[in-house]
Amino acid sequence: MKVCIAEKPSVAKDIAAVIGAGQRRDGYYEGNGYQVTWTFGHFCTLKEPHDYTDRWKSWRLEDLPMIPSSFGIKLIDNAGALKQFGVIETLVRNCEEVINCGDAGQEGELIQRWVLLKAKCTVPVKRLWISSLTEQAIREGFDKLREAGQYDNLYAAGSARAIGDWLLGMNATRLFTKKFGGGKAVLSIGRVQTPTLALIVQRQKEIDAFVSEEYWELRTVYRDTEFTATIDRIRNVEKANKGLAYLQQHDFEITAFEKKEGKEGNPRLFDLTSLQVEANKKYGYSAEDTLKHIQNLYEKKFVTYPRVDTTYLSEDLHPKVEGILRELTYYSQYTAPLLANLPIPKSKNVFDDKKVTDHHAIIPTGVLPGHISQDEKRIYDLITRRFIAVFYPECKVSNTTVLGVVGQVEFKATGKQILEPGWRELYVNEKDAKKEGEEEKVMPIFEVGERGPHEPRVHQGKTTPPKAYTEATLLRAMETAGKQVEDEEMRELMKDNGIGRPSTRANIIETLFKRKYIEKKKKNVHATQTGIDLIDTIQNELLKSAELTGNWERKLRLIEKGEYAMDTFKQELIEMVVQLTHEVKNERTRSITIAEEAPAVPEKEEKPKKERKPREPKEEISIEALHCPKCKDQLLKKGKTAYGCSNFQVCGFKIPFEFLGKTLTEKHIFDLLSKGKTAKIKGLQIPGSPDPIDARLVMNGDFNFEVG
């Protein structure tokens, strides 16, 4: 028997249907020589400090740094997960081969490897590696199963990332909390979140320190065309008025006229970050919302694997493009010209094996969507229009530059006219078809030497502060380690040095919001006083440097390629943590402003020579911050009767507000979702039982609730 392990029940169901495992069992499907089971995402996690030694239960400076001699993993404390792991463990113990059907990426590899490690798997393991969940993709994937050993480096990189985050996060958070938190709140420090916060704080300080200054420019209109003087901005109005008087004494004369035809290259296909940027700019979606919508579209088979960092397609996809275009019947007005001029060109700007790593760019699968939300329709439309647009002709434009002079003052005007829209036809009704601030300006034909009267004026303006980050510009800053990069080619080259990975950046931003280090005002992201104080408190530049964090990310990618040793990376972080701990312990203690509702410090210092059980960290009850235990989507209030999965139509998970005659409190629901069980509830009315009973509610392996 071969055991297939998927990352979600829904994916397991799709795989089982394709390979003929049609019989539903408790926790798996069976048939045709296969057993198909699943996890619910992370079943295992790195052990916590107190799992290594009781001494690390308490948060004490003298115990830092915490460096385990070796890192171990453990199962998460969730009743449903524990039951399902038991199913996996039994199946793995009795099978002849395991097929790892986890998410085809670094995180998916780590999740599955840890589960197999915990289950003490000793049989051969194969890897299913696919970029979409269509029936055809699954069949092709099973026809070309790969050896698990091909992905050892990917697993090593995932392990190195997890261990690095543990070493820095656990130690630095305790270190700064005990040194500077004043016993009031946890000061959370992270390998990725802290440099990201530092970027926002730096921009905030630039905005706060900015002093606006007035300036004046000389402008004039000649033959219905506005020209601007090329001299430096004028800093006082008297000088500007003198300049105006001077201009009024002279005619305008054309000194140069140049009209050049050019081309605007096609947009690139989407990777996850560029999709999140576009969705934020166009619809105001957060990075996390966009990731949720695209993940849903992927699981419904409408688009390819989303957690990618490339804008290219592999060359073997070229023969399939025509078929995908033919299936996109809703977009036939745009696909018809392409299908009438076959074959589709095989441009290196689109197809390049050297630019594709684990997966290619995000594209539609050709399966037309049905029964999807308005938000998912918008994301699908962005992806599909972009996919079609890359195969269109380039946009042809005419760029005009006109130079003139009034007396001794030189003037300039520029304009652009679209001659042939090319790929822009797909965005003809889009407000954002043009770049921000760009307007098409058709200019008259000028002759060098012509002259005549004009209408000069003084334009008054004010200097503006740097723009606050939006989620779109923050994602770009994370991608380029804080550097301002507009050029697509240069941005592509810098991706190896970005902060975080495309799949984790949304979560990092959300974490900063939840910890009240940043806040959103309209579309703009601002640092709170707590966030500013935290960054000011951190004197060690390594913790705050986007560039250095980007360098760590580059090393993690090198580990993926087998070009850097995991142990070397781990040792570098250990040395950094040891040095950081020594420096901070010897720093002068400073106070820090704590935002309301910030996480409380887990416990007070233990008094010496007294043995007492340390207090556990106080839990914050925030149901909306939790996710569906069945499919990991967002949990939402479903009317006035229940909490349910945001993907309820597919997933079906919900928790009623009232159960067995008792109204469930937020604490009950929170405990069910986070721990798999509640504390004892008094007066539960069991059907068929004459008297109420006192008992716990427990979530079983099928995500239903029972008395335990």
Three-state DSSP state, 158: helix
pLDDT of residue 490: 52
- DSSP-derived letter for residue 643 is E
d(C-alpha 50, C-alpha 669), whole Å: 27
pLDDT of residue 354: 83
Q: Sorting pLDDT into bands at 50, 70 and 90, what band is 650?
A: low
Q: For 128-148, how does the pLDDT look when each residue is reduced to its tens digit (9 = 90+)?
A: 998 888 898 999 999 999 999
pLDDT for residue 648 is more than 80 = no
What are the sequence ranges of the domains in the chain? 2-144, 159-209+468-585, 214-266+395-462, 272-389, 623-707
Amino acid residing at 28: Y
Strands 658-659 and 225-229: unpaired
* pLDDT at 174 exceeding the cut of 50: yes
Burial class (CB in 10 A: 0-12, 13-18, 19+), 60: middle
Mention every residue, 6+ apart, whose C-beta is less than 8 A from residue 136: none
Average pLDDT, the chain: 85
Opening angle at CA 437, ends 209 and 399, nearest 5: 130
Band of residue 432 on the pLDDT scale cut at 50, 70, 90: very low
Do residues 633 and 9 make contact, with C-beta atoms less than 8 angstroms apart? Answer: no
Q: Which 3 state secondary structure label does DSSP give 26?
A: coil
Phi-psi region at 24: left, alpha or beta (left = phi > 0; alpha = psi -120 to 50): beta
Question: What pLDDT is recorded for position 638?
Answer: 59
Residue 277 exposed, middle or buried by CB count within 10 Å (0-12, 13-18, 19+)? buried
What CATH number should be reported for the domain whose range is 214-266+395-462?
Answer: 2.70.20.10
The mean pLDDT of 328-356, rounded to a whole number, is: 89
Stretch 106-126: mean pLDDT, rounded? 93
Looking at residues 677-689, what average pLDDT do you find? 74
Lowest-pLDDT range of 455-464, 473-482, 535-544, 625-634: 625-634
Contact 340, 389 (CB under 8 A): no
Strongest mean pLDDT among 355-369, 422-436, 540-554: 355-369
- Which segment of 320-334, 593-607, 639-653 scores lowest on mean pLDDT? 593-607
The catalytic residues are 305
- Mean predicted confidence (pLDDT) in 524-529: 93
pLDDT of 491 reads 54
pLDDT category at 387 given cuts 50, 70, 90 is: very high
Burial of 646 (0-12, 13-18, 19+ CB in 10 A): middle
> Model confidence over 188-211: pLDDT tens digits?
898 889 999 999 999 999 999 999
> Is pLDDT larger for residue 17 or for residue 656?
17
pLDDT band at 449; cut points 50, 70, 90? very high
Provide φ and ψ at 428, rounded to 5°.
Answer: -60, -30
d(CA 310, CA 247): 53
Q: Which segment of 328-332, 333-337, 543-547, 574-578 scores lowest on mean pLDDT?
A: 543-547
* Secondary structure class of 593 (helix, strand, coil): coil
Q: What is the pLDDT of residue 324?
A: 93
pLDDT of residue 647: 60
Kindly indicate the confidence band of residue 640, based on its pLDDT and cuts at 50, 70 and 90: low
Average pLDDT over residues 485-497: 57
* Exposure string over 439-475, b if 16+ CB within 10 A, otherwise e: eeeebeebeeeebeebebeeeeeeeeeeebbbbbbbb
Topology classification of domain 159-209+468-585: Topoisomerase I; domain 2 (1.10.460)
Q: Is the pLDDT of residue 227 over 90?
A: yes
617 pLDDT band, cuts 50/70/90, is very low
Residue 39 has pLDDT above 50, yes or no: yes
Among 479, 471, 577, CA closest to 522:
471
Query: Can you tell me the mean pLDDT for 435-442?
Result: 51
Q: Which fold has domain 272-389?
A: Topoisomerase I; domain 4 (1.10.290)
Contact 600, 618 (CB under 8 A): yes
% the chain with pLDDT above 90: 52
Residue 244 has pLDDT above 90, yes or no: yes
CA 145 to chain centre: 29
**Domain 2-144 in CATH 3.40.50.720:** no
Q: Does the pLDDT value for residue 43 go beyond 90?
A: no
Stated pTM of the model:
0.74
